[in-house]
Structure formats: C-alpha cells, structure tokens
Amino acid sequence: MTNYQFPKDFYWGSASSGPQSEGRYENDGKGDNIWDLWYKEQPELYFNTIGPEKTSQAYTHIKEDVALLKATGHNSFRTSIQWSRLIPEGRGAINPAAVKFYNELIDELLANDIEPFINLYHFDMPVVLQKEGGWENRKTIDAYVAYATACFELFGDRVKKWFTHNEPIVPVEGGYLYGFHYPHEVSFKAAVQVGYHEMLASAKAIAAYRALGKIGEIGIILNLTPSYARDENNPSDVKAAQFADGFFNRSFLDPSVLGEYPADLIDDLRSADVLPSYLVEDLEIIKNNTVDLLGINYYQPRRIQARENPHEWSVPMPEDFFETYDMPNKKINPYRGWEIYEKGIYDTLTNIRENYGNIPCYISENGMGVEDESRFIDKQGQINDDYRIEFVSEHLKYVHQAITEGSNVRGYHMWTFIDNWSWLNAYKNRYGFVSLDLENDGKRTIKKSGHWYKKVSENNGFEE
C-alpha cells in the first residue's frame, strides 16, 4: 500500500463553464453567442439535436449545485462567466440579471468554503462581435478587455483566482482549421491571427487586472498536449513533433509564462507565410504581463511522425509540417476514442518545472468521457463509474510523483462536476462526478466517483 498524500491546502475540485452548464431562460437577458447562432442555423450538427439553451440548468440550481459540490468534497470550483450573459451585445450595457446570478453563485460558493476560480473566455464569442470578425478582428481585443475589467470590478472583491482564457488554441483549431467551432472556416492565416489576438487580449486583460490593484492571482488555462515523436532517434519525426508542440502548446505557453514567442515557431510560420499582423508595442505588452498561475488541462498525448502522405486539404495547413502517428497498442478510452496515457500529465508538469521557472500551476481539467453511463446504474440509482475512479487515481499518482520531485502543483480539478453539454457532442459523452437526467427534469445524482472524491479530499490523498 502506498499513501499518496498531497500538500497542505491542495485544491480539490472540478471545472465547468458558463455556456456548457447555465442554460437559457425567459427574461434572463442573455445575448446570443456563436453557439446559440450556430444551433439556430444547423441544429442537426448537434448530437441528438440538443442545443446550448438546454444545458444543465445551473442558472436555476445554485443552492442545490453548491450543496452537491460540498457533498463531493470540493474546496474549489472553476466555471466561466458568459460574456454574452454579462454584456449581451459584446460591448456596452451590462445585464443586471447576470450580475445578480454571478453574485449569488460566488456568494454561495464562498459561504460553503469553496473557492471560486473564474475564467473569462470559454469558446463563447458574442454574436455581435463575431459578425465583425470575432478574434480575427483586432477591435475585439478592446471589447474583451472592457468585459474583463467589468468582471474584475464587479466580482474581484471576492474572486481571487482569475483566468483569461480556457484552451485558447481550441477556437483556433475549431473555428479556423478543422470546422468544429463557428465560423468553421479553413484558413491557416486567419487561424494564426486569431491565436495572436487571443494572446494579446490575455496580456492586456492581465495588465487591466493589475492596474486595478486587486488582491488575487490571474492566469490562463492551457490544454498542454505533450507531443511524442514516433521515433525519438529519427530527426524528421522529432522535428515534426517539435512543430506540433510549438503550434499547439508553446504558441500560448511561451508568451503567457515567459513573455515571448518561441523562435522556431516564428520561423515555421514565416516559412508558411502565415505570420500574423501585429504592432511592435504589442510585444512589450506581452512581455510585461505574464501569468501568476497556470491552469493545465490534460486529456491525451499527441503522437507525431514526419509527413509521409499528402494531407487531405488543398490549402496550406499546420499538417504540412507533421502527421499524426497511429501508435499500435496504445491504451484507448473506448467510449471516446482518446488515448489514455497517464504519464503524459507527469511529463507536462516536469516540462513546466524544468523549462518554465516552475511557475505555480494546477491541473485545471482531466477526465474521462463515457457514452451511455445508464448501463452502470445500480439498484439505488447510482452510476458505478469505477473506470472514472481508476482514471482519476492513476493520473493523481503521476501528479503526486511530480510534486515529490519538486513541481509547484497547487491542485487538481476534474472535468467535470455535473454532466454537461459538450459543444457539438452535446450530452453524448458524460464526464461528471454527478449524473444529470435530462429526461427527468435535470435530476442530479452523485456517481460512485463523486463519493470517492469526497474521501480523497477529506484525507487530502488516498491509499492504494
């Protein structure tokens, strides 16, 4: 038996987001974001045609949900403010109903000793701004900084952990390369511009936060997906993996933590003729406004080989530089198709310790999506998700090892708390510690993993 004990004051929690959990209600004053718009245009793209208005009703379940957070051992919880709820037109007037809702949520969390971690952008561009180009348009940065400042002013007396973005590479990939986010364009050049504007927006929001003199920390949440070369001794594979790491990880990690873009990424993007437009003074802003705290989302590794086959697009793409390697015998989550490689979390934390000044960080997402969990319901109506307990504990062992070796990891947040709406996949894969019965008025029931997590949190670790 090994006792995996975690440091004092370790954050045990989970993560969610406004657009994936709140839902929409008559007179709630929320404006449309790109998900509301896309669902109106193409509802058939969404799994079982379930759209963003039907998410898990967090808006009307504050007390019940916070009680469930407590019952599942949370001492911290991350969600996001929806830009289009707070400022329905993207810029300008603030929606008083939204202020009331977020105040109630934050106060209820604090009354239960659960620290709110609040993120500002989780894939949810207000439609008015998207129509002007969204993140492709430099003016969106000003609107975002005004929105961020409003959040700091309204809630910054109680919220002490802020994040500028969740997974900013995902709107780049989804919206401008691979078609799974609005506006589902395919343009390497636009993709790079979008990523650059998100990054500059992050640095400017950090500057705005610090200018207000609030006491708290501000950071960014990145999905750091370690890139492993097919063959470590094959320079072409290694080079391809380095590109993937540069484009998908270091494009935000380096400017956010070190204040500078990586030289190899700049060279690669220049060779593809897709460098973004920028102003020289931007680079100074990025340099001077690095993060206090890094959130790391980890789900799966990326396996890479040098390109051997032509890719399926006729236009320039990041894939010109690499190809995905389908590694034989990898461990797969059969319900989601993603590889499970627990050591990836340790490799990422080690990289942060060795190459990024061991900046304070925490695991901001990690989790396992499973389809049709009703298969695992017992007579008492509880889902026996032993696979999730195994998934979380196997990852926690590697987090523990990283801490033992000196990594500055402050907490672990699982994705997610209550099963929530996952974009085009809607409710296909369930991730929560708590199940949601959509047919039964959103009834919530703690899963076996939720009861397990409470014990882990109470003991500040586990034995195995």
Which residues are identified as catalytic? 365
Is residue 329 classed as helix, strand or coil in its secondary structure?
coil
Do 177 and 186 touch, CB atoms closer than 8 A?
yes
Site residues for ligand GAL, window 222-251 (CB under 6 A)?
223
Q: What character string, x for contact with ligand GAL (CB under 6 A) and - otherwise, covers 133-162?
A: ------------------------------
CA 384, distance to chain mean position in Å, is 26
125 beta partners: none
Of 249 and 305, nearer to ligand GAL (C-beta) is 249
Segment (H or E) for 161: strand 161-166
Best CA proximity match to 402, nearest among 338, 367, 366, 351:
351
Place of tokens 């017992």: 378
Q: Which amino acid is at 309?
A: N
Of 268 and 373, nearer to ligand GAL (C-beta) is 373
Do 245 and 348 touch, CB atoms closer than 8 A?
no
Place of tokens 């003991």: 459
- CB 378 to ligand GAL: min, Å: 26
> Which two tokens mark 275?
């460098």
Which of 6, 13, 17, 244 is close enough to bind ligand GAL by CB under 6 A?
17
Site residues for ligand GAL, window 161-190 (CB under 6 A)?
166-167
Q: What character string, x for contact with ligand GAL (CB under 6 A) and - otherwise, covers 93-132?
A: ----------------------------------------
Segment (H or E) for 364: strand 361-365
Of 171 and 276, nearer to ligand GAL (C-beta) is 171
Rounded to whole angstroms, the Cα distance separating 281 from 235 reads: 37
Q: How many residues bind ligand GAL (CB under 6 A)?
A: 11
- CB 413 to ligand GAL: min, Å: 11
Site residues for ligand GAL, window 287-306 (CB under 6 A)?
297
- CB 429 to ligand GAL: min, Å: 7
- CB 273 to ligand GAL: min, Å: 29
Q: Which amino acid is at 12?
A: W
Of 25 and 180, nearer to ligand GAL (C-beta) is 180
Q: Is 142 left (phi over 0), alpha (psi -120 to 50) or beta?
A: alpha
- CB 81 to ligand GAL: min, Å: 15
When asked if residue 366 is in the footprint of ligand GAL (CB under 6 A), the reply is no
Site residues for ligand GAL, window 26-85 (CB under 6 A)?
none
CB atoms within 10 A of CB 132: 12
Do 58 and 75 touch, CB atoms closer than 8 A?
no
Rounded to whole angstroms, the Cα distance separating 360 from 278 reads: 30
Of 276 and 318, nearer to ligand GAL (C-beta) is 318
Rounded to whole angstroms, the Cα distance separating 436 from 442 reads: 6
Rounded to whole angstroms, the Cα distance separating 102 from 81 reads: 8
Of 338 and 356, nearer to ligand GAL (C-beta) is 338
Best CA proximity match to 412, nearest among 430, 399, 398:
399
Rounded to whole angstroms, the Cα distance separating 15 from 228 reads: 27
- CB 166 to ligand GAL: min, Å: 5
* Nearest residue to the partner ligand GAL, using Cβ: 422
Of 391 and 431, nearer to ligand GAL (C-beta) is 431
Q: What character string, x for contact with ligand GAL (CB under 6 A) and - otherwise, covers 387-426?
A: ----------------------------x------x----
- CB 213 to ligand GAL: min, Å: 31
Rounded to whole angstroms, the Cα distance separating 330 from 447 reads: 28
Residues of this chain that bind ligand GAL (CB under 6 A)? 17, 20, 166-167, 223, 297, 365, 369, 415, 422, 431
